Each structure stands twice: as C-alpha cells, then as structure tokens.
C-alpha cells in the first residue's frame, strides 16, 4: 500500500475527513522530514513504511480534542504533532517550540516550503518563552513527564485553556505526581491505525483557585 493509500485508509478508520489537497500536503511534510532527517536526526523512526501511521495519523488522532485559537507544540522536534495539526486545521494558529536550534531551523524551513502561514517557530526553552499572548492549547508528544510539562508551561496557558499531553500506556504514575495547580479533565484512549501498543491523550487544565 502506498503512503497516500495508507493515509486515506487511516483517516477513514479514524473518522477524519481531509480533502485530497490537505492529504497531499501531509505527505509532502513527511517527504521533507525524511529528506532532512539524514542531516538533522529529526526522527528515530527509520522505517518509512511506518511513517504515515507513526507521524501523521498519530498526530492527527488528537485533532477532535484541539480547541480553536492558538496552539503551542512544546518540544516539537521534527514537527509532530504541530505541523500535521496546522495542515489539517488552517484556522489554527500554531507555534512550534524546540530548544534545539537545528530542529527549529528545519521547522522554519518546513513551514516555508509547505506554505504554512499559520505556523511560527521559536527556538528556546519553554520556561524562558514569554510571548505577548498565551495559548488556548499546549501540546507535547515526547517532551517530559506530565508534572514537568504543566509546571514549565503554566505561564503560557490562557484561562480556560487545556494541556494536551500525548502518552503511550496509561500514565497513572505520572497522573499521581501532578501538582495541585493542574487538574485532569479526561484521559482518552486513542486508536491509531498501524500503531501497535497503547496511545493515550491526557487533557489537563489549571485547577480552580
């Protein structure tokens, strides 16, 4: 099965409708990721036959839970989940943040080459990032333990905003270590076609004072 067929079938299985042009742009992002991977080590996943499921579908699995407004992707690395979300949701304003300047350079290049005007890139540490306005959602795929994630990025989340933390197995131990300043809204089990093993999305918000 070609990557285009994998993507189309995967989206259908997940109940996500994206037009052909959007799907082509997602595959163009994947091609860029692997083109630059040889130089910048953007992904540890060498098998490109698993790239659609592990990079695109895995990122897009959280799409139904992403609110409108401004999204911050912390520790974006090669751009997941931020770039696939930005491609699927042109209305979303997405900021990709990574402390690695090489990875940030790739993210900037990818946004330019793919014509993604709804993406901005910041190279730096999340705790030192102080933009003019905050974010309605902050996501991370492989950034840190939940307690560190919410503590380091709390100043960036607007009132009523949510953290969207992507995890593998149900992270009960991490949930138990959350600070009192954060509260769990839900833990969703995600079914991602082609991805073996558990995937979960932890939705968190600031605790009421």
Q: Binding site: what residues are annotated?
A: 75, 126-127, 141
Distances (CA, A) of 68 to 64, 89, 154, 156: 11, 9, 19, 16
Could you tell me whether strands 182-189 and 70-74 are parallel, antiparallel, or unpaired per DSSP bridges? unpaired
CA-CA distance, 3 to 50, in Å (whole number)?
9
CA-CA distance, 50 to 56, in Å (whole number)?
10
CA-CA distance, 190 to 201, in Å (whole number)?
7
Residue of 89, 83, 36 lying closest to 66 (CA atoms): 89
In the chain the first and final C-alpha atoms are separated, in Å, by 52
Structure tokens at 19: 């037009």
User: What residue numbers does the annotated binding site for S-adenosyl-L-methionine cover?
Assistant: 75, 126-127, 141
């Amino acid at each position: 099965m070609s990557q285009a067929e994998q993507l189309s079938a995967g989206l259908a299985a997940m109940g996500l409708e994206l037009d052909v042009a959007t799907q082509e742009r997602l595959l163009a992002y994947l091609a860029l990721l692997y083109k630059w991977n040889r130089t910048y080590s953007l992904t540890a996943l060498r098998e490109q036959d698993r790239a659609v499921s592990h990079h695109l579908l895995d990122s897009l699995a959280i799409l139904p839970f992403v609110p409108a407004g401004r999204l911050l992707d912390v520790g974006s690395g090669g751009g997941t989940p931020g770039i696939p979300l930005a491609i699927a949701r042109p209305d979303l304003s997405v900021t990709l943040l990574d402390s690695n300047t090489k990875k940030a350079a790739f993210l900037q290049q990818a946004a330019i080459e793919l014509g993604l005007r709804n993406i901005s890139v910041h190279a730096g540490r999340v705790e030192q990032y102080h933009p003019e306005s905050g974010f309605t959602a902050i996501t991370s795929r492989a950034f840190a333990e939940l307690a560190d994630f919410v503590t380091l990025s709390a100043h960036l989340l607007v009132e009523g905003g949510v953290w969207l933390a992507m995890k593998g197995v149900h992270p009960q131990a991490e949930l138990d270590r959350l600070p009192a300043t954060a509260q769990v809204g839900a833990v969703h089990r995600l079914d991602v076609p082609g991805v073996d093993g558990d995937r979960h999305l932890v939705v968190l918000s600031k605790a009421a004072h």
